[in-house]
């Protein structure tokens, strides 16, 4: 089994049990620590790592969430789920929780049947993180450009905040011309994006045309998909629509011309310079929040799919600093393994033996056909690489160095 398969087993057999009931109990700090130990132990076993693997290194792999993160995600998910039905909203009200989704500052109401049947929403794709799924986002932009780049009934919408409780919404067509704009009083970015879509629908209705509306807000698209919107958006849409409108999600700040133009105009009306760091999509769904938390602390590359199981495990051991090396073996068997580098007498850490020793054998002095640079920065850069060629070359380097130093000699291993 490969790494992704063993991680799925942990998700199915361990995390599902942890998140089934524990988030609804009040655990003290020591009990939460015990759950975290259980979670880390399961992931170490799935990755083929020893139980002594440092927690900091394990977190840097970006493969698991802590119990606190999982618990918060479960509670957010349940609140969002209950807020979608009248019975669920009644339960939330009785328990003292505001009966609206986590990302909206007011309770939602259902769309009229005459309105909802005229608005179709394309499925919102998953795994579209702006950093870790750039290729998927670019592919979707290219598809949208090919499908709708020359259509006359396409509208791009966006919203921008100009203080803590007001937003500007804009609607742009394929010729990069501003069709309409408005100011919305709300603290919720999702609510503002919903208003932008409703404004585009109403504008096209007044023209007497059907339309295709592209929005970069996944959550606003999902609200239209579920048929429950803020009251302000419902009033703007009106009691009925006479033309069909299609809503499609597009990646924001990914080079789609209409989306970039709508964003630029919204910021211009707010008198705000563009700041991409503030414009990135905020994760809303629990799975997106958990993925964002994992990606944020991930430092090391995921083993490429071309690596076999043994190679992937050895790469993970190298990234977590538990691949057999003299210093680690000496701590376990001090009489069998020395605590000094056999070449220079230095401290024989994994980095020193594999990369940093200036007096290592000549066959270890080159990496990928070039002279090896013995610096910690270069070592960490190789550990972080996702290139299969670099990963295999690094594994070869580490294995040959361990063998040359005597760490892989026949004897007890950790």
Assigned token pair, 115: 């309105």
Confidence of residue 181 (pLDDT cuts 50, 70, 90): very high
Could you list the residue range(s) of the whole structural domain that residue 368 is in? 309-405
Q: Are residues 163 and 211 in the same domain?
A: yes
> Looking at 282, 317, 337, which one is the last position of a domain?
282
pLDDT at 129: 79
163, burial (CB in 10 Å: exposed 0-12, middle 13-18, buried 19+): exposed
pLDDT more than 90, % of the chain: 73
Entry pTM = 0.74
Q: Coil, strand or helix: which one is 140? A: helix
pLDDT(278) > 60 = no
pLDDT at 133: 84
Cα distances from 246 to residues 155, 201, 222, 249, in angstroms, run 10, 9, 13, 10
Mean pLDDT score of the chain: 90
Phi, psi of 160 (to 5 degrees): -140, 140
* Average pLDDT estimate for 267-283: 59
Q: Are residues 127 and 229 in the same domain?
A: yes
Report yes or no on 290 lying in a domain.
no
Report yes or no on 412 lying in a domain.
no
The CATH number for 117's domain is: 3.30.420.10
pLDDT at 346: 94
* Average pLDDT estimate for 129-138: 85
Higher pLDDT, 107 or 337: 337
Q: Taking the mean position of all CA atoms in its chain, how far away is CA 268? A: 29
Assigned token pair, 328: 């680690």
Q: Are residues 275 and 374 in the same domain?
A: no
Write the pLDDT tens digit of every residue in 3-52.
999 999 999 999 999 999 999 999 999 999 999 999 999 999 999 999 99
pLDDT at 288: 83
* Average pLDDT estimate for 374-399: 95
> CA-CA distance, 352 to 342, in Å (whole number)?
11
Q: Are residues 277 and 129 in the same domain?
A: yes
Q: Are residues 90 and 232 in the same domain?
A: no
Report yes or no on 150 lying in a domain.
yes
pLDDT at 233: 94
Q: Are residues 320 and 394 in the same domain?
A: yes
Cα distances from 162 to residues 159, 217, 219, 226, 271, in angstroms, run 10, 18, 21, 29, 8
> CA-CA distance, 407 to 326, in Å (whole number)?
6
Sequence-distant (6+) residues with CB within 8 A of 134 are none
CA-closest candidate to residue 245, choices 212, 278, 275:
212
Q: Are residues 89 and 231 in the same domain?
A: no
Q: Are residues 93 and 217 in the same domain?
A: no
Write the pLDDT tens digit of every residue in 321-362.
999 999 999 999 999 999 999 999 999 999 999 999 999 999
Report yes or no on 298 lying in a domain.
no
> Looking at 98, 119, 150, which one is the last position of a domain?
98
Confidence of residue 280 (pLDDT cuts 50, 70, 90): very low
Confidence of residue 277 (pLDDT cuts 50, 70, 90): very low
Q: Are residues 250 and 225 in the same domain?
A: yes
Q: Are residues 267 and 119 in the same domain?
A: yes
Report yes or no on 304 lying in a domain.
no
Confidence of residue 285 (pLDDT cuts 50, 70, 90): confident
pLDDT(76) > 80 = yes
> Looking at 50, 74, 98, which one is the last position of a domain?
98
Report yes or no on 12 lying in a domain.
yes
CA-closest candidate to residue 375, choices 357, 391, 389:
357
Report yes or no on 48 lying in a domain.
yes
Report yes or no on 104 lying in a domain.
no
Q: Are residues 273 and 345 in the same domain?
A: no
pLDDT(274) > 80 = no
Q: Are residues 39 and 118 in the same domain?
A: no
> CA-CA distance, 86 to 89, in Å (whole number)?
5
Q: How many domains does the chain have?
A: 3
pLDDT(411) > 60 = no
Residue 28: count of CB within 10 angstroms of its CB:
7
pLDDT(150) > 80 = yes
DSSP-assigned letter for residue 377:
H
């Amino acid at each position: 089994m490969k790494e992704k398969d063993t991680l799925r087993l942990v998700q199915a057999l361990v995390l599902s049990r942890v998140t089934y009931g524990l988030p609804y109990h009040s655990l003290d700090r020591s009990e939460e620590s015990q759950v975290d130990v259980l979670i880390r132990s399961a992931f170490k076993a799935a990755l083929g790592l020893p139980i002594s693997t440092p927690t900091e290194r394990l977190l840097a792999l970006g493969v698991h969430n802590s119990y606190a993160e999982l618990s918060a995600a479960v509670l957010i998910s349940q609140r969002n789920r209950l807020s979608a039905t009248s019975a669920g909203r009644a339960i939330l009200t009785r328990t003292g929780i505001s009966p609206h989704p986590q990302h909206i500052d007011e309770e939602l109401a259902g769309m009229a049947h005459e309105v909802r049947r005229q608005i179709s929403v394309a499925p919102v794709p998953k795994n579209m993180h702006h950093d870790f799924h750039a290729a998927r986002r670019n592919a979707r932009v290219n598809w949208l450009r090919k499908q709708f780049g020359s259509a006359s009934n396409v509208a791009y919408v966006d919203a921008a905040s100009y203080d803590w409780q007001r937003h500007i919404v804009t609607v742009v067509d394929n010729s990069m011309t501003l069709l309409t704009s408005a100011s919305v009083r709300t603290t919720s970015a999702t609510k503002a994006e919903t208003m932008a879509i409703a404004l585009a629908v109403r504008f096209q209705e007044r023209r007497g045309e059907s339309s295709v509306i592209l929005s970069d807000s996944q959550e606003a698209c999902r609200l239209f998909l579920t048929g429950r919107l803020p009251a302000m958006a419902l009033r703007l849409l009106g009691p009925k629509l006479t033309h069909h409108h299609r809503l499609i999600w597009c990646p924001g700040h990914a080079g789609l011309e209409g989306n970039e133009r709508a964003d630029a105009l919204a910021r211009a009306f707010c008198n705000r310079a563009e700041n991409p760091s503030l414009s990135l999509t905020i994760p809303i769904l629990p799975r997106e929040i958990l993925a964002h938390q994992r990606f944020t602390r991930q430092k090391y590359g995921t083993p490429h799919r071309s690596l076999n199981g043994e190679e992937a495990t050895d790469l993970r051991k190298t990234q977590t600093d538990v691949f057999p090396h003299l210093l680690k073996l000496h701590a376990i068997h001090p009489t069998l393994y020395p605590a000094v580098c056999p070449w220079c007498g230095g401290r024989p850490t994994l980095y020193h033996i594999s990369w940093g020793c200036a007096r290592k054998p000549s066959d270890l002095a080159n990496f990928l056909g070039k002279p090896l640079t013995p610096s910690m920065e270069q070592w960490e850069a190789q550990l972080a690489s996702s290139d299969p060629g670099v990963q295999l070359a690094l594994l070869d380097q580490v294995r040959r160095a361990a063998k040359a130093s005597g760490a892989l000699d026949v004897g007890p291993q950790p």
